[in-house]
């Protein structure tokens, strides 16, 4: 069983990213792919397997990372896990 994950709008802000702007798209796309994997792996925990849910908005806490010290995959995973955690919290309400 899998889930179709539709994200209408995703806003990511990279602060202090001078010299790393070219990585933003790669990190963002990979974060969404990882998020989809996390959601599909945990459908029952999310309570989505039996009917689905629609959320108007999900607020995600800031992810602090040093772009100069972290690879794209590591950063994407951090972003995806932050979004996933926020989804879990929102769905429990």
* Chain centroid to CA 81: 6
Residues with Cβ within 8 Å of 90's Cβ and at least 6 positions away in sequence, in order, are 55, 58
Residue with tokens 């990979």: 30
Reported pTM: 0.80
The answer to whether residue 69 is domain-embedded is: yes
Domain span holding position 28: 21-92
* Chain centroid to CA 6: 12
**pLDDT tens per residue across span 21-39:** 899 899 999 999 999 889 8
pLDDT at 16: 77
* Neighbouring C-alpha atoms within 13 Å toward the C-beta of 15: 4
pLDDT band at 48 (very low <50, low <70, confident <90, very high): low
pLDDT at 1: 53
pLDDT band at 59 (very low <50, low <70, confident <90, very high): confident
pLDDT band at 90 (very low <50, low <70, confident <90, very high): confident
The answer to whether residue 12 is domain-embedded is: no
Per the structure, how many domains does the chain have? 1
């Amino acid at each position: 069983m899998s889930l179709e994950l539709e994200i209408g709008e995703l806003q990511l802000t990279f602060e202090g990213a001078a010299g790393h702007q070219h990585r933003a798209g790669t990190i963002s796309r990979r974060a969404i792919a990882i998020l989809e994997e996390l959601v599909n792996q945990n459908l029952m925990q999310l309570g989505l397997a039996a009917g689905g849910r629609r959320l108007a908005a999900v607020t995600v806490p800031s992810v602090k990372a040093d772009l100069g010290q972290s690879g794209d995959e590591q950063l994407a995973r951090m972003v995806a896990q932050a979004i996933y955690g926020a989804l879990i919290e929102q769905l429990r309400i």
